[in-house]
Structure 1
Amino acid sequence: MTAAEALGLIATFLYALSSLLLYRQFRGQAAPSRAVLMLPGGLAVATHAVGLYFLLVTDQGLRLGLFPVASCMAAVGAGLVLVSSLYRPFQWIGALVFPFAALIIPASLWIDTGYTAHPLEHGIGLHVLLSILAYAVLVLSACQALLLMVQDRQLKDGHIRGVMRLFPPMQVMESMLFDTIWLGQSLLTLAILFGFMYVDDLFAQHLVHKTVLTLVSWVIFAVLLSGRHLRGWRGRTAVRFTLAGFAALVVAFFGSQLVLEVILDKT
């Protein structure tokens, strides 16, 4: 067993343990404590990060295929949940992010899509790093939007049920949503700018769909943030725009990489 596999299995166990502890608190109708999130969750993220180093860094360059990059996004997202939980009630998002991380790590270790490792120039590496950070933050936005959608629907029905009674007020949930969108949009803007600066041809045949869909996502989030500032958009409008922008990003990267690596074998 390689170091990447051993560390990945440990991280998977710790993420699963964190998820189980969070869900047990939900069943007990108690707000999830920071300690439950930080102790096994922090160990999971640290182990995951070290395992990713052994998985991604090779003599030929970086392995940035479909599942390894998804694993990077999961690690960054889980780390952001931990840091954000120190000053905002983001523990709820861990109940969505940690199970995803536990599922994606084995896929990154043992599903080979045929991606060939490549060396990255400094500018391209920065573009990739910013893209991963932007995707991870906007994943948290999408998770927050899903929770807000459930909360809004129950409020419209006039009855808050189950664990939703433990959630922060809707105004706080919306504030947290737009905080993550602002951060994600800023990182996505930088990633796009560095892409245009350092990628020779962003509109090459194997990048055109990814580029166009990423720009579509950027426009959707820009419209949402403008609508929030100028017209006070909130509630279902904010949720719909957030999920639409995130869906465009998912198709931009994961859809394009799936086609390139699995169907066309262009990596």
Structure 2
Amino acid sequence: MDWSSSEPSFTRAHIFDPSQQSVLALSSLTFFTCLFLKLRTSSSPSTSKHLSASLMSSPPPPSPYSASSAWLSALTFFSLCFILSWSTGVLSSVFFHPSLPPLTPPFLTFTITCFVVVFLGYWIIWPIGTVTYNRPTSPYSILFGLLDGVSESLLILSFWSLIELINLPRYLTASITFLIQGGFKSNWDLKYWNIHVAPAHNIEEWNKWKVCFVHVPNVLLTFSYFVTYGCSSLYVATQVVAVIGSTWFMRFPSPRSGYKNPPEEEQVGTYEDKGRAKFWKVDHWEGEAQLK
């Protein structure tokens, strides 16, 4: 596609089709159900007692990690992403009316390159700086990665769809979306997601290399791929491959897992984790400083 063109990538012409209305209804039901359960949990007597105690002390004690609460928070976020993507026409483009450009050698080469870079980044490089604290392998890790990868990429494309309403050239729409995406992801992950949803998994000393060799190449390459070809379905597919890799290698826990942050003594010290910690000359997890 011409980067100077202002032709929109998404249309809302089909959002009231019965199939898309069904997705909207399911997403809305999921959102309100999870929100109700979250509010019900947060207003439990034990939580209220903990909150009262925290008001009398300084600083307040950290909130314990709960896998079930993490799943509720994530599902609330996922459903919001689906609702927004429905309203912006992104859901329609990705799942119901996908389009492919002509299968020319440049397109095929770019597509293969994106998937190879994402696979190398999130399935080979990313695990080097990741520890699991003895969390077991589980199909829930794959399920969570699938939902997260689809939802986050739908959200990014929804940003694009909203910005293109201004009728800017494609390169300006891309630039603004890129800036919004970067600002949102860095703050969202740092201030909420990696605290309340994702279990402890990072070796702090390795984070800069994850950014340089995994996240930045992924964003620059796959987003340029979408800008160039407008193929939203394949863009989402690349992000699903990326996120499933990360959730699998961090061993994202099932909703019924008893895992806690910081990990208990018996949850620390598998051979794999010890080897990586020794390699990086560390014996702590990323969030430990927040608890002191």
- TM-score with structure 2 setting the length: 0.37
Identify, as 1 or 2, the structure richer in helix: 1
Bigger Rg, structure 1 or 2: 2
- TM-score with structure 1 setting the length: 0.39
